Amino acid sequence: MQTVVQELWNKCLRIIREDISEQNFTTWFAPIVPIKFHNDTLTIQVPSQFFYEWLEENYVSVFRKAIDQVIGKNGMLEYSIVVDKGDRKNPPITFNLPNSASSSSNAIAQHVIQRNPFQFKDLDSLELDSYLIPKYTFDKFIEGDCNRLGRAAGLAVANKPGLTSFNPLMIYGGVGLGKTHLIQAIGNQIKNQFPEKFVLYVSTEKFTNQFVNAIRNNSIETFTNFYLQVDVLIIDDVQFLSGKEKTQETFFNIFNHLHQSGKQIILSSDRAPRDLAGMEDRLLSRFKWGLTADLQQPDFETRIAIIQKKLQDDGIHINIDVLEYLAHSIQTNVRELEGVIISLMAQASLTRKEIDLELAKSTLKSIVNDQEKELSVDNILDVVTHHFDVNLETLQGKCRKKENVFPRQVAMYMLKELTNLPLKSIGYHFGGRDHSTVIHAVQSISEAMVIDKTVEKTVRKLFNRFNIAQN
Ligand code: ADP
Ligand code: MG
């Protein structure tokens, strides 16, 4: 039997469905869960803040119409927004916000946060805080060929800290490939299963700073003793120990002590131990005692799975063509992939557009352009003057010698092709020449490129300096 609230909501859905496309319905309305109906107020649960904002931006009148018809003019709508999905022990955290089409007495300021998910502590005090970030879990760490060994070893360690032969466990890999996520996930899982264990996550940078402060304050012993209490020591980015002899020595002692007492050590590094320069041999050999596993760039399928997971966590559904486009376009690392997804969601809410292929393309293009800021007039002129070995004044001047005219025309051609500058502005950068001079230059170079292979090659080479394929 359906509950009253479900029945009411189904009626609303039938009305809403008439007003919007099937795809929008599936994306934005199917994931909504009706929670309760009380005092003419219908509370619906939405999967994320982003989702809520989107609905408020785009569907207020659709909601109003449905509420009017189903509940009546006094009907109100309230969102319950999931801000943290919770876990086995903790219920999800949600907070409630009125719909803006509801009565104005329901001010937004009334929202209640039921449980504060964040507790801040003084970062430098040596209290028993693990410095683990709850969102980094195994559940959110997508498995692929690129990380299978590291992930499996991480899970093994998490289930039996200090008791496997993976001690230390050393995870290495390039930037943005998930090292911090994985070693944090191990810490979180251990904390979950063995609450009595003292798990500590520390970046190598912080470890070094604490050590330097300890020297300054004459408190090396306190520093070392603190680390000797740890049951699971997670040290991120150990490549930063390189060249720091004193810190390495102290770390070596802590390492030995913990290892001998059966405590688990987990390390990350941006390169394999054999490639760590500036590191004492005895420390390096310790790193190799346990298991070393690398993280590689995710393959296509894994990238798809990662994007899907991220969007799912935000309660957003996108079509497979958009997914594939993104997975094909961003191949560097996961952090970059995430960055694009976030811009895409932001872009979608700003422009009130659906996340479709067109939006994905334009968002990606704007991000890429941002990274190539070097496409400025100055830089283009710089590339040309360097290549032809002329000075800037000559390039911009009036001298009609052939060896100066050609570079000048190439520079004009490049400005025309690579920037959105009007012809007049291009002329401006060459001592205020008029637009017909620029047109003439562009035509000359275009023709020369067809006739003369060396010209074509030169221009292509200059374009390549800006990472742009010439068409
Ligand atoms: P690193 O420490 O290697 O530079 P991070 O652990 O900070 O990389 O990862 C960068 C981002 O990519 C993080 O937000 C992380 O959650 C995400 N990420 C990396 N690998 C994965 C994966 N396999 N599944 C899901 N998210 C991932
Ligand atoms: Mg990291």
CATH code, domain with 392: 1.10.1750.10
Short-list 319, 247, 330, 238, CA closest to 284: 238
197 and 245 in a common domain: yes
**Structural domain of 308:** 300-367
> Does 135 fall in a domain?
no
Farthest CA pair distance, the chain: 91
- Measured between alpha carbons, how far is 180 from 234 in angstroms, rounded to an integer? 10
* Domains: count for the chain: 4
Mutation test of ligand 1: which of 151, 175, 181, 341 has the most ligand atoms closer than 8 Å to its C-beta?
A: 181
336 CB under 6 A from ligand 1? no
The tokens describing 85, both together, are 């999905």
- Measured between alpha carbons, how far is 16 from 34 in angstroms, rounded to an integer? 14
Question: Of residues 87 and 144, which shows the higher confidence score?
Answer: 144
> Does 139 fall in a domain?
no
166 and 89 in a common domain: no
The structure tokens 């960055």 sit at 339
User: Would the CA dihedral through 401, 404, 408, 410 be positive or negative?
Assistant: positive
- Is the distance from CB of 329 to CB of 304 less than 8 angstroms? no
The residue out of 241, 264, 295 marking a domain boundary is 295
Average pLDDT, the chain: 85
- The alpha carbon of 329 and the centre of ligand 1 are apart by a number of angstroms equal to 18
Which distant-in-sequence residues (6+ apart) come within 8 Å of 331 by Cβ?
297, 303
- Measured between alpha carbons, how far is 256 from 262 in angstroms, rounded to an integer? 10
> Does 142 fall in a domain?
no
> Does 122 fall in a domain?
no
pLDDT at residue number 431: 87
For 44, 70, 96, 258, the CA distances from 5, given in Å and listed in that order, are 10, 11, 17, 57
277 and 187 in a common domain: yes
Question: Of residues 50 and 34, which shows the higher confidence score?
Answer: 34
For 70, 347, 397, the CA distances from 173, given in Å and listed in that order, are 56, 31, 51
457 and 337 in a common domain: no
338 and 265 in a common domain: no
The tokens describing 297, both together, are 């760039």
Is pLDDT of 44 > 80? yes
pLDDT at residue number 110: 29
Question: Of residues 469 and 394, which shows the higher confidence score?
Answer: 394
CATH code, domain with 11: 3.30.300.180
278 and 170 in a common domain: yes
pTM comes to 0.62
pLDDT at residue number 54: 82
313 and 258 in a common domain: no
The residue out of 295, 311, 328 marking a domain boundary is 295
Identify whether 161 is preceded by a cis peptide bond (ω within 30 of 0).
no
> Does 471 fall in a domain?
no
- Measured between alpha carbons, how far is 190 from 159 in angstroms, rounded to an integer? 7
Report the pLDDT averaged over residues 72-83: 85
283 and 327 in a common domain: no
178 CB under 6 A from ligand 1? yes
> Does 130 fall in a domain?
no
Q: Which numbered atom of ligand 1 lies nearest the CA of 147? A: 23
> Does 247 fall in a domain?
yes
314 and 276 in a common domain: no
Gyration radius of the chain's alpha carbons? 30
- The alpha carbon of 270 and the centre of ligand 2 are apart by a number of angstroms equal to 8
CATH code, domain with 347: 1.10.8.60
Question: Of residues 250 and 432, which shows the higher confidence score?
Answer: 250
80 and 7 in a common domain: yes
Query: Which residues lie across from 294 on neighbouring strands?
Result: 172
Tell me which range, 14-23, 83-92, 248-257, is most confidently predicted by mean pLDDT: 248-257
306 and 271 in a common domain: no
Q: What is the pLDDT of residues 85-143, one digit of tens each?
A: 665 555 666 666 667 665 433 333 223 222 222 232 333 333 468 899 999 999 999 99
What burial class does residue 137 get, using C-beta atoms within 10 Å of its C-beta: 0-12 exposed, 13-18 middle, 19+ buried? middle
Among 63-77, 231-245, 255-269, 353-367, which is the least confidently predicted range? 353-367
pLDDT at residue number 325: 85
Which distant-in-sequence residues (6+ apart) come within 8 Å of 8 by Cβ?
34, 37, 42, 70, 71
> Does 469 fall in a domain?
no
Angle, CA 111 vertex, CA 17 and CA 38 arms, to 5°:
55
The residue out of 295, 312, 338 marking a domain boundary is 295
User: Would the CA dihedral through 403, 408, 409, 415 be positive or negative?
Assistant: positive
Question: Of residues 423 and 269, which shows the higher confidence score?
Answer: 269
306 and 199 in a common domain: no
340 CB under 6 A from ligand 1? no
Is pLDDT of 347 > 60? yes
150 CB under 6 A from ligand 1? no
**Which residue has the CA at smallest separation from atom 14 of ligand 1?**
335
Terminal C-alpha separation, the chain: 64
- The alpha carbon of 454 and the centre of ligand 2 are apart by a number of angstroms equal to 46
Q: What is the pLDDT of residues 296-337, one digit of tens each?
A: 999 889 999 999 998 888 888 888 889 888 888 787 789 888
Q: Which numbered atom of ligand 1 lies nearest the CA of 302? A: 23
- Measured between alpha carbons, how far is 71 from 11 in angstroms, rounded to an integer? 10
Q: What is the pLDDT of residues 406-452, one digit of tens each?
A: 999 999 999 999 877 788 888 888 988 999 999 999 999 999 999 99
